[in-house]
Amino acid sequence: MAHIVVLGAGVIGLSSALQIQSQGHQVTILARDFPGPFETVDPRLQIDYTSPWGGAHNRWIVPTNAAEEREHAMALRTFARMREINQSYPSAGITFMPGIEYLEAPSSVYQALDVEKARSLGMEGFRMLKAEELPDDKVKMGFEYDSWCVNPMVYCSFLLRRFGYLGGKVAKKEVRSPAEIFEMRELGKVDVVINASGIGFGDANVFITRGQTCLVANFCPATVTRQNADGSWSFSVPRNFDGGTIIGGTKEPNDWDPNPSPEVRALLLQSFATTYPQILGKDQKYRVIADIVGRRPTRKNGMRLEKELTGDGKCIIHAYGLGGRGYELSWGVSEAVAGLLSAHMETAPLRQKSKL
State yes or no: pLDDT of 226 exceeds 70.
yes
Q: Are strands 223-227 and 304-309 parallel, antiparallel or unpaired?
A: unpaired
Per residue in 135-147, pLDDT (tens digit) is: 999 999 999 999 9
Of residues 198 and 164, more confidence is placed in 164
Strands 192-195, 3-7: pairing kind: parallel
Q: Checking phi first, is residue 242 left (phi over 0); if not, alpha (psi -120 to 50) or beta?
A: left
| pLDDT for 200 | 84
**Residue from 101, 94, 96 nearest 126 by CA:** 101
pLDDT (tens digit per residue) in 299-326: 998 999 999 998 888 999 999 999 889 9
pLDDT above 70 coverage of the chain, percent = 96
Q: Which of 10-19, 154-163, 203-212, 343-352 has the lowest mean pLDDT?
A: 343-352
Tell me the pLDDT tens digit for each residue of 332-352. 999 999 999 999 998 876 434
Q: Give the DSSP per-residue string, 183-241.
A: G-GGG----EEEE--SS-SS-TTEEEEEEEEEEE----SSEEEEE-TTS-EEEEEE--T
Under 8 Å between Cβ of 209 and 295: yes
Whole-number Cα distances in Å, 248 to 98, 300, 327 = 18, 23, 17
pLDDT in tens, 101-123: 999 999 999 999 999 999 999 99
Q: Which of 44, 45, 52, 40 is nearest to 14 (CA)?
A: 52
At residue 38 the predicted structure's pLDDT band, cuts being 50, 70 and 90, is low
Q: What is the pLDDT of residues 175-217, one digit of tens each?
A: 999 999 999 999 999 999 999 998 888 899 999 999 999 999 9
Three-state DSSP class for residue 298: strand
| Prediction pTM value | 0.93
Cβ burial of 149 (10 Å; 0-12, 13-18, 19+) is: buried
Taking 70 as the threshold, does the pLDDT of residue 355 lie above it?
no
**Per-position DSSP letters for 244-265, written without gaps between them:** -EEEE---EET----SPPHHHH
Q: Model confidence at 54, in pLDDT bands (50, 70, 90)? A: confident
Q: Of all residues in the chain, what percent carry a pLDDT higher than 90?
A: 83
Residue 353: half-sphere exposure toward Cβ, Cα within 13 Å: 9
Mean pLDDT (whole number) for 22-35: 95
Nearest by Cα to 241 from 310, 110, 149: 149
Q: What letter represents residue 39's amino acid? A: E
Q: What pLDDT does 350 receive?
A: 42
3-class DSSP string for 23-52: CCCEEEEEECCCCCCHHHCCCCCCCCCCHH
| Mean of pLDDT over the chain | 92
Answer whether residue 274 shows pLDDT above 60. yes
